[in-house]
Structure 1
């Protein structure tokens, strides 16, 4: 591990000032991803800014009926909050599907948004990786790529984003509040993460030194008709091969609004608004859901080892939509697919 300096920030302004003075500084909260990256010499920050003492640990109602989740709330705190469980059960279910209880007790909401890919080439400093060393190449292209992207990939990177929480946030149209040297701004979760294109080392649309302060959920939580379905190699503590966040608003068996987001398949949570619009006004029907899945996967392309992900994702989308329409969401305790 490369030597670094350390400070505890007492205010948001102090943290932002410290980050602005050092381009190699990093914020640290739970550290469940950053510390691993530092131990592997993938991340080499010169200065750590501890933000755990900042007043960003509350969950509060917003005037328009939504919910504001502080960036330092833990995953467990969000998962078990009564307002989240009752009004945004899709989010609670997605968080429950991720990591382990021990990690969820430590990991922060802001940190979850910022976690980096689990591509094993990214973690192996002995091989080429454009995300780790821009311009060095992508060892996953033509290599072992079973867990890699089928959507939104580029000739420079085929890594996937690992978060479960972010997939639900994308489906719920959440926003991210940030503070930086230029002041405050709000970013839609759909715009927060980047596709790799020619700069896969840049994961998000954050400006240098910006600090996440909160995630805001809109009033509509799709509490009656939702499901988070995660398919993985093992049922415990594994990242998704494919995950689906499905959220529907229904009236007398007809879909009046639909949201779909995929995880484990792209460099960011994947949505296709044409697939969602297609479902509007349709009856709950497997044929309709299959057509929506085809639209959502219209740009999918395998890399060899991961070709199986395309039909797997298609079946997962259909199953998640069926679960959501029936009001029988996937259980994250008994993970057997219903």
Structure 2
């Protein structure tokens, strides 16, 4: 269960390969995820572009969106062949586009179908298959809905369950509102863990710091950090010391950026725009003199078509030297 002790949540349009390389330089042990990729995109799209990743990202999980057991099995096998460490089925995304496609959170109303999907993927691959869900949707009773879904997918062979401790309201709330408006119910996830002692249960939703993560670990097997990891990535510097008892890969954010320079230069040489990478760095410095100037320099110069690593180096030079790990908890 240690493998799922700490992870960074998948986020649409955010958890790309550049973000994952950046995060990996701050923590060796966090489980990293792709953004959700639909089965249709993988089957019919440019797989190298969609699924390619840097070897430094391991352990890395491919999150799939879909509801066809056959298509999900096909995509799970493709993901395994690409080298992913785990396949995760999204049963929690509340966006209209997801609902219209019959995947994401709306599948919580069809636990038997979700179980069939898990069974098909388990038969197709030799790596773990996990499920990420909500505690319920719309007028469902979370006490019933979460138990039914969890027991169905576990019986089908799911290796772990990641639970966003909020309902998803598919009727009446926007995807953005669904991230904040439905109240958090951590105790419901704790009760699920108590009822399934041998199944890894990971909690997600509204967790803002590693100190909060450690509190949850008294009740569940793992914690998934979401927006805090993107808005304040410096927090990840303390993940390995605080949660795994090991030193962080780098002591400061400046050390992280120095280690990332070769990757950035390689990506630029292959046509990647600097802003595609540096957009993940906006919150890298916190409470440090010069952080605002750092952000402003990247915003003004990183978007230029010819921007190179010198833009990032100049931005970093505006920030005072200070060890960040001491405040990262």
Q: Give the TM-score category using the shorter length.
A: under 0.3
Relative to the length of structure 2, the TM-score reads 0.25
Q: Which has the higher strand share?
A: 1
Q: Which has the higher helix share?
A: 2
